[in-house]
């Protein structure tokens, strides 16, 4: 205990938060290697090979390889993300849920609780689909996926998978509350980063045996570097709207006009729009892999969602655009912003306060988001086309790169904001001690 107090007792609050986040991510990674009881993980690997495995590979990457190892965390955070999508859509269309959200903190707590309940229900359904699919799998090299199939296995496996999802949800909330960054995004980030070295080594090994030409390898590296540079540029881009406040008379009689800016980010939805779209597109691939059906209608429907087909690309593009606009509408309320400006005495030059300001803000946000949507489509959809249509061996998808870059920048901005707040608080305390400030 003395050792711990000596080395960890004098840490700042930010250092404790960073250490807590790192510790939580380590625990998460350890959990991704705990196997699902009664399953031969080696027999499951063939699900992630061959044609049509692209979306499952993305699902597996987001989960940090938990799905291919068939661990207790195979479902990961995705039931919770799916539940969040459903609740956000219902909140936008249901008056009762919309009023509940307006209640403030208590309303948000209730909505979060509903999201958890729905996530558990979705985890049960997806867990059942995995279990039934594992039992129906044909033996691979004489090895069955399930050691002792039956009701006992189904019950224990579903409980383990749902328990893993609940644990991941709890861990994400703990990171958000006691760590640094947004918990769910950081867990997905950790899974992607853990899988990048393996994908890179696989690409280099393919280049070493001649499957990938040096020119294609160089082109792939240049493309990935260009994508990262584009993300770093656009994620910091913003449209600044000038805000003026009433003039004040200074002590020397000079009129002073206070001015500030309202920043409108180009990609206000962040990584959540592509994550929501990818979560929906993963579900058909997930069902197709684990619940085999000989019904022609079901096969035709699943064919529409086959990774790399033009129908898949079109649906994925539409979903990205929809969720980008939807998430922006959730984050930015033009009516509320207009009212806040009006109450503070602020106004946009040349625009009347009230309804005209609302319309002006809506127009600016819509045009800015259109640029952001085009950027997201280039980042997330273009690599799929290059990979499936032109054979470019992109080891990491654009969505994965966007998530990694977005999470890193958001976390660094949060740390920077925390440091500025602490520095400001410290300055106030010093001024109060000297008698220069009395609050």
Q: What is the DSSP string of 280-319?
A: HHHHHHHHHHHS----HHHHHHHHHT-TTSHHHHHHHHHH
By the 10 Å C-beta count (0-12 exposed, 13-18 middle, 19+ buried), 297 is classed as exposed
Together in a domain, 207 and 244: no
Domain identity same for 135 and 269: no
* Whole-prediction pTM: 0.79
Q: Tokens 């999201």, residue? A: 115
In terms of residue numbers, what domain contains 126? 10-211
218 is a domain residue: no
Same domain? 52 vs 166: yes
Whether residue 187 sits in one domain with residue 81: yes
Instruction: Count structural domains, the chain.
Output: 2
Question: Among 335, 223, 224, 323, which residue's Cα sits nearest to residue 275?
Answer: 323
pLDDT of residue 298: 67
DSSP conformation class of 104: -
108 and 236 together in one domain: no
318 occurs within a structural domain: yes
Whole-number Å distance between alpha carbons of 221 and 218:
5
Residue 2 domain flag? no
Closest CA to 58 of 168, 199, 203, 216: 199
**Same-domain status, 40 and 151:** yes
1 domain residue, yes or no: no
The CATH number of residue 201's host domain is 1.10.3370.10
The DSSP letter of residue 1 is -
User: Of the candidates 211, 239, 264, which is a domain's last residue?
Assistant: 211
So what's the pLDDT on residue 8? Answer: 53
3-class DSSP state of 212: coil
214: its two tokens: 């040096």
| Spans of the chain, pLDDT less than 50 | 1, 3-4, 7, 51-52, 437, 439
């Amino acid at each position: 205990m003395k050792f711990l107090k000596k080395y960890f007792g004098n840490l700042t609050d930010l250092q404790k938060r960073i250490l807590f986040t790192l510790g939580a991510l380590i625990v998460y990674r350890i959990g991704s290697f705990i196997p699902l009881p009664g399953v031969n993980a080696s027999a499951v690997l063939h699900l992630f090979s061959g044609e049509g495995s692209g979306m499952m590979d993305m699902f597996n990457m987001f989960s940090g390889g938990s799905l291919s190892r068939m661990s207790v965390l195979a479902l990961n955070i995705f039931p919770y993300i799916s539940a969040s999508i459903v609740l956000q859509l219902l909140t936008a269309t249901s008056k009762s849920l919309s009023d509940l959200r307006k209640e403030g903190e208590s309303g948000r707590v209730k909505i979060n609780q509903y999201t958890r309940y729905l996530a558990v229900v979705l985890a049960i359904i997806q867990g059942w689909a995995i279990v039934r699919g594992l039992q129906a799998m044909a033996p691979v090299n004489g090895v069955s996926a399930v050691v002792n199939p039956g009701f006992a296995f189904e019950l224990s496996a579903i409980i383990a998978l749902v328990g893993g999802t609940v644990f991941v949800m709890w861990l994400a909330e703990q990171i958000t509350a006691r760590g640094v960054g947004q918990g769910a995004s950081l867990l997905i980030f950790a899974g992607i980063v853990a899988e990048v070295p393996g994908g890179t080594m696989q690409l280099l090994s393919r280049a070493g045996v001649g499957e990938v030409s040096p020119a294609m390898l160089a082109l792939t590296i240049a493309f990935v570097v260009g994508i990262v540079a584009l993300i770093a540029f656009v994620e910091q881009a913003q449209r600044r709207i000038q805000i003026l406040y009433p003039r004040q008379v200074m002590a020397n009689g000079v009129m002073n006009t206070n001015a500030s800016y309202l920043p409108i980010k180009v990609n206000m939805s962040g990584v959540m729009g592509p994550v929501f779209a990818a979560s929906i597109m993963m579900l058909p691939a997930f069902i197709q892999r684990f619940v085999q059906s000989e019904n022609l209608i079901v096969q035709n429907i699943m064919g529409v969602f086959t990774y790399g087909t033009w129908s898949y690309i079109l649906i994925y593009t539409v979903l990205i655009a929809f969720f980008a606009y939807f998430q922006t509408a959730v984050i930015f309320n033009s009516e509320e912003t207009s009212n806040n400006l009006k109450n503070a005495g602020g106004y946009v030059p040349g625009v009347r306060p009230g309804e005209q300001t609302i319309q002006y803000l809506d127009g600016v946000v819509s045009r800015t988001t259109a640029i952001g949507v085009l950027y997201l489509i280039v980042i997330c959809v273009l690599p799929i086309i290059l990979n499936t249509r032109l054979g470019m061996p992109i080891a990491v998808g654009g969505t994965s790169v966007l998530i990694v870059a977005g999470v890193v920048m958001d976390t660094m901005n949060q740390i920077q904001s925390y440091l500025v707040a602490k520095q400001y608080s410290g300055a106030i305390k010093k001024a109060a001690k000297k008698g220069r400030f009395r609050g």
